[in-house]
Structure 1
Amino acid sequence: MEEIIVEKLKEIEKQNHVKILFAVESGSRAWGFESAGSDYDVRFIYIHSPEWYLSIDPQGLGSKKDVMEYPFGGNLDINGWEITKALRLFRKSNPTILEWLRSKPIYFQNPLFAKRLHALEIDNFNPVPTIHHYFNLAMGNYKNYFQGKEVKIKIFLYVLKSILACVWVERNGSFPPVHIQDLLLVLDDEQIKREMEQLIKQKRSGENMVCIHDYQNAHDFINAKFLSIRQSLFIQKAELHNSTSQLDQLFRDTLSVVWCLKQG
């Protein structure tokens, strides 16, 4: 499948006259609880030619879209963000971009772009928007799907993963791992950990639904963390680092290198 994905990415480059800078797997296959039939959710960052940027219309308006979406059918979905959109979101410490930077497998990456973006994250990361992001994900899925006696396993794991991501940030002050097995390290309760490992096992085996009552410890953990995380968010303020000049320079350097522009 990886060869097919790489070929599709090359087709996207050719059809749109762009260069892909970074392409990774996202979703359940990156998070560690995929089943045999899970989709391949490929996400990428791309850059246009200099001519595309040297025009009077700004990116994101009219025909100058800043996203690409390719639902190829079957179980393959490929979406991409234009570099300036991605860097503006990175400047806000956007968790989606930060997850992409940690996701595997990596289908392609431009060494210059990836290395410098990773380096900028050290000063740019802010825990508050990250906690807000994962808390809202967990709360939204919980309110929408935990209404009966049964729930989809993947939704149960989505909620648990998001809650554990919040706990990780609160405890370590760093962006959480993408893979769910790594997030289990923040669990102090062995019973909850065993229930999560059982859910992961069932999801990977292809099972779809579980009875919430059978995982009461994990369910109680979710509700308890909703209360504590909500309380902590009231007293936290986001203080974003101004990385605009560094990100501007990264964009210019990437544009020059990727399209072999002469400098000086």
Structure 2
Amino acid sequence: MSYVRIDAIPASVQKEIESRLAEIETEENIHILMAVESGSRAWGFPSPDSDYDVRFIYVRTRDWYLSLRPGRDVIEQPIVDDIDLNGWDIRKALGLLLKSNAVINEWIESPIRYRQDHAIVAALRNLADDLLDSRALAHHYANLGRSNAARWIEVAGDVPVKKYFYSLRPALAIRFLRNYPDKRPPMNLQALIDASDLAKSLVADIDQLVEAKKMTNEKSNGARKPDVDALINDELARASEVSGRLDEDDSFNARAEEIFLELVNS
């Protein structure tokens, strides 16, 4: 995969993000292992006013993990100039990865990297691949898609284009998992479409929605697409068809522990 999509992020913004990440490392006394885009820019359908949703995984010094009272395992920064920076401690990230958490899987899969990954990220990716629970991911996407679709899909009239995508992407992720239960769904919408074997008319409808979102702000309405509505409803209802991981392998915990200890002892 491509680790840095410079073309997707203006050079001035890229430079500012890199500067802020370096400041966080100094102020928090951490080392950032990976920093990625997690929002609509990585999904492939940003609006002109979309934020830059920068997410990172970091490790602290060894002594911090030896404290009697566990410290806060997230770093959150206020949004400034449309740049939203938030990060998770490696121990939190590994704990969620062992549960096949969809968010951490998406970060690992992001096509936009704001830095070169630390070498340990390859081990994180391999672990995520081996313990992937497609049913858990499908359940996440079904809940996400339904909670968003419930606000508009049964209501007549135009709907903000943004809301379409917050239901469509989860629906296509479920479709991907039904077809490829041993693989992690790509973040990027076009990659999901390419793997979905959709009718040409549906692809054309989705392309029109993407173009509309590129040209309008986050709250602008767009014309309804009945076939896309039907696709969303159908796929969100089929999450239970996705098979889960059958084996319970204790070696996953040992591998996560090994990754953690390698980092904090280095």
Is the TM value for this pair above 0.5?
yes
* 1:32 pairs with 2:40: no
Q: Does 1:229 align with 2:236?
A: no
SS in 2 for 1:34: coil
Change in 2 beyond 3 A, CA 1:109/1:256:
farther
Is there any run of 5+ residues in structure 1 with no aligned partner, and where? 59-63, 258-264
Aligned to 1:161: 169
Q: Identity of counterpart residues, as a percentage?
A: 32
Residues 65/135 of structure 1: CA separation in 2 closer, same or farther (3 Å cut): same
TM-superposed deviation, 1:211: 2.7
* Pick aligned residue for 1:250 from 253, 259, 263: 259
Q: Which of the two has greater strand per residue?
A: 1
C-alpha separation between the residues in 1 aligned to 2:62 and 2:145?
41
1:202 is the counterpart of 2:206: no
Paired amino acid for 1:101: I
Question: C-alpha separation between the residues in 2 aligned to 1:137 and 1:192?
Answer: 22
* Paired position in structure 2 for 1:3: 15
CA distance in 2, matches of 1:90, 1:227: 26
TM-score, normalised on structure 2?
A: 0.88
Match of 2:180 in 1: 172
| SS of equivalent residue, structure 1 residue 120 | helix
Measured after TM superposition, the shift of residue 36 of structure 1 is: 2.4
The aligned counterpart of 1:261 is: none
Q: Distance in 2 between matches of 1:144 and 1:7?
A: 39
Map of 1:1-264 to 2, 5 A cutoff?
A: 1-58=13-70, 64-146=71-153, 147-173=155-181, 174-185=183-194, 186-206=196-216, 208-212=220-224, 215-230=225-240, 232=241, 236=243, 239=246, 241-242=249-250, 243-257=252-266
CA contact (8 A) 1:187 1:193 kept: no
Matched pairs, number: 247
C-alpha distance in 1 between matches for 2:244 and 2:21: 40
* Whole-Å separation in 1 of the counterparts to 2:126 and 2:244: 24
Distance 2:172 2:198 in 1: 11
Determine the structure 2 residue equivalent to 1:262. none
Which aligned segments of 4 or more residues in structure 1 are displaced greater than 6 angstroms?
Answer: none
Corresponding letter in the other structure for 2:228: A
Give me the CA root mean square deviation: 1.6
Which amino acid in the other structure matches residue 177 of structure 1?
Answer: P
CA-to-aligned-CA distance 1:171-212 (integer Å, 9 cap, x gap): 011111110001112033211111011100110122521132
